[in-house]
Structure 1
Amino acid sequence: MRLYGIATCDQVRRARKWLEAQGVKIDFIDLKTQPITSEKLREWLNRVPYDSLMNKRSLAWRALSIEQRRSVVDQASAIELMVSSPMLIKRPVLEMEDRLIVGFSEPLYEGLSLALSPV
């Protein structure tokens, strides 16, 4: 199980703390130090729509020009923008064998508790 995010992000810290409290071992991938690949994004986008993965409420989104925002019209253009600016990815992303959870919600994570295997 892998958790992707930014170490300083409040939501990522909450998710990590929650998973740790459940005794779940995760591999944490910091998107600031380990750039995301277009291949990984394609894999994720086979599980969730690009507009669920791209955080349009983020500072990174608001910093884009209007032209850049309008350029996101499909999966390919979303991937291109997220690879060049990983801060646009909604965080955290919890990658499990058969599921991908975008964002942190304690009730949602609690619903996964039967699938989570403490190590």
Structure 2
Amino acid sequence: MTTIYGLKNCDTCKKATKWLDRFNVAYTFVDYRDNKPSPETLLEWAGKAGGFAAMINKSSTTWRQLPDSRKSPESDAEWKLLLREYPQLIKRPLVITDDGTLSQGFSDNGFKARFNIA
């Protein structure tokens, strides 16, 4: 089963779940504001995403409002602390399929390729 991590009020997450519904792809949705990912999960995601910095939505209001001192974590521990405090900084949706593959974001063509739909 595919797991979609995001925010229930995020327009991009809504588009992604509507797409999955339309193509009958089974999924579970997890709002990571209500169910904050564990530090171990964040570390695993960062490994699959290409690092913590690659997971960050730098165009978000939350990111822009952070003090500059918080925008340059120098260790995994600082990244994990930042993302536990502000899970909305994670690019969304974050999609994990049964085989453990992780992707972020939504596009029609991207999801068609990801879920092998012609």
User: TM bucket by the smaller chain?
Assistant: 0.7 to 0.9
Q: Which residue of 1 aligns with 2:110?
A: 108
Alignment-derived partner of residue 7 in structure 2: 6
Supply the AA of the counterpart residue of 1:63.
Answer: Q
Distance 1:76 1:52 in 2: 16
Seen in structure 2, the aligned counterparts of structure 1 residues 113 and 54 have a Cα distance that, compared at 3 Å, is: same
Segment drifting more, 15-24 vs 50-59: 50-59
1:8-27 paired onto structure 2 within 5 Å: 8-27=9-28
TM-score (norm 2): 0.88
Residue equivalent to 2:46:
45
Percent identity between the two aligned chains: 29
Q: Which moved more, 1:10-19 or 1:103-112?
A: 103-112
- Letter matched to residue 78 of structure 1: W
Q: What secondary structure does 1:101 align onto?
A: strand
1:16-63 superposed Cα distances (whole Å, 9 cap, x missing partner): 000111101111101121112111111111211222211111111011
Corresponding residue to 1:59 among 49, 61, 73 = 61
Alignment coverage as a number of residue pairs:
114
Using the TM superposition, give the Cα deviation of residue 85 of structure 1 relative to its aligned residue in structure 2, in angstroms: 0.9
Q: Which residue of 1 aligns with 2:34?
A: 33
- Runs of 4 or more consecutive aligned structure 1 residues displaced over 3 Å after TM superposition: 73-76
Distance in 2 of aligned mates of 1:102 and 1:22:
19
Superposed displacement of residue 73, structure 1: 3.5
Give structure 1 stretches of 5+ with no counterpart. none
TM-score with structure 1 length normalisation? 0.87
1:52, 1:102 within 8 Å by CA — same for their partners in 2?
Answer: no
